[in-house]
Amino acid sequence: MQHPGVASAQTYVTPEARLTAEGIVLPPAPGPLGPYRPWVTFGSLVMTSGQFPFIDGRLAYSGRIGGSIGPKDAYAACRLAAINGIAQLKDAVGSLTSIKQIVRLEGTMQVAMGFRDHPKALDGASDLINLVFGEAGRHSRMIYSNPEMPLDSPVLIVLLAEIRD
The mean pLDDT of the chain is: 94
19 close to 132: Cβ distance less than 8 angstroms = yes
3-state secondary structure of 126: helix
CA–CA gap between residue 157 and residue 132 (Å, rounded) = 16
The tens digit of pLDDT for each residue in 16-67 reads: 999 999 999 999 999 999 999 999 999 999 999 999 999 999 999 999 999 9
Q: What is the pLDDT of residue 109?
A: 98
CA–CA gap between residue 145 and residue 109 (Å, rounded) = 5
CA–CA gap between residue 150 and residue 34 (Å, rounded) = 12
Domain ranges of the chain: 9-163
The tens digit of pLDDT for each residue in 90-142 reads: 999 999 999 999 999 999 999 999 999 999 999 999 999 999 999 999 999 99
pTM: 0.92
3-state secondary structure of 22: coil
* CB burial of residue 24 (10 Å; 0-12, 13-18, 19+): middle
Please give the CATH superfamily to which domain 9-163 belongs. Answer: RutC-like (3.30.1330.40)
Q: Is the pLDDT of residue 6 over 50?
A: no
Q: What is the pLDDT of residue 12?
A: 83
